[in-house]
Amino acid sequence: MDSITVYNAKGGTGKTSLSLALALKTGNTIITNDIYSPIDDVLPSSKVLKLEPNEKVPILDYSSPIIYDLGGHMMDTRISQCLKQSKTILIPTLTDYTSLKTTMYAIKEVEEFNKNIILIINKVSNEKEFFEAHKILSNFFTYEILRVKESKCFQNMFKNKKSIDEMMQENKLITRAYTEVNNQLINIINTLDSKDNIKSA
């Protein structure tokens, strides 16, 4: 998987959870502007870089793709820099109206720097909720929209300090409980891998 940015100005939409789940599957390094992020409880220190508030984004070594897990305001110029040097931007949103509204502003800001965007409707607990959120987003944008269901696997990665794959291997009941969300994460990776690289076209 190439370098990506997971961004939304809206907090709590699952940026860190998705970044960690994807990093554990792909082996990519996470760089975040959240110094309090607990990802280093789960990932080895060689796979995590937490940027101090004034620390610059390091120059990319293309042999090791990065997942930039970024929150906060675009005034943090590191965000636009990471958006520009990422192949694709994942923008996770929750399904409630205020999250969708804020996400739409965030999409417009991201578009200025990178139009290779995939929207993720996250924490989906039923079809109706998904279709309503999908309808609102697709009214304004033509970007691909994927989904991730509501699942305990995300908080359990942090709690157990294990990847979703490790937890599934250990316990048959967990395998059953996590299969669908795990397939949705694999689908995100496959979609990222199959996306044309607009920049090199």
Does 182 bind ligand ATP (CB under 6 A)? Our answer is no
**Given candidates 3, 5, 17, 33, which one binds ligand ATP under the rule CB under 6 A?**
17
- Please select the residue that binds ligand ATP; options are 129, 150, 174, 177, rule is CB under 6 A: 150
Find the part of the chain contacting ligand ATP (CB under 6 A) among 13-21, 23-31, 60-68, 109-117: 13-21
Instruction: Determine if 154 is a binding residue for ligand ATP (CB under 6 A).
Output: yes
Q: Which CB, 15 or 87, lies closer to ligand ATP?
A: 15
- Burial label, 191 (beta-carbon count in 10 A; 0-12, 13-18, 19+): middle
Using the minimum distance from each CB to Mg ion, give the nearer residue, 68 or 143.
68
Q: Is 47 exposed, middle or buried (0-12, 13-18, 19+ CB in 10 A)?
A: middle
Binding flag, residue 38, ligand ATP (CB under 6 A) = no
Question: What is the three-class DSSP state of 91?
Answer: strand
- Which residue in the set 13, 16, 85, 88 belongs to the binding site for Mg ion (CB under 5 A)? 16
Q: How far is the CB of 150 from ligand ATP (least distance, A)?
A: 4
Asked whether position 116 contacts Mg ion by CB under 5 A, the answer is no
Q: Are 107 and 141 in contact (CB under 8 A)?
A: yes
Asked if 13 touches Mg ion (CB under 5 A), the answer is: no
What crossing angle do the helices spanning 172-194 and 15-26 adopt, rounded to 10°?
Answer: 90
Identify the H or E element spanning 184. helix 172-194
What's the angle, vertex CA 60, arms to CA 59 and CA 61, rounded to 5?
125
- List the beta strands (DSSP E) in the chain: 4-7, 29-32, 48-50, 66-70, 88-93, 117-124, 144-149
* Whole-number Å distance between alpha carbons of 60 and 145: 28
**Residue 7 binds ligand ATP (CB under 6 A):** no
Q: Which of residues 63-92 bind ligand ATP (CB under 6 A)?
A: 71
Binding footprint of ligand ATP on the chain (CB under 6 A): 11-17, 34, 71, 122-123, 148, 150-151, 154-155
Binding footprint of Mg ion on the chain (CB under 5 A): 15-16
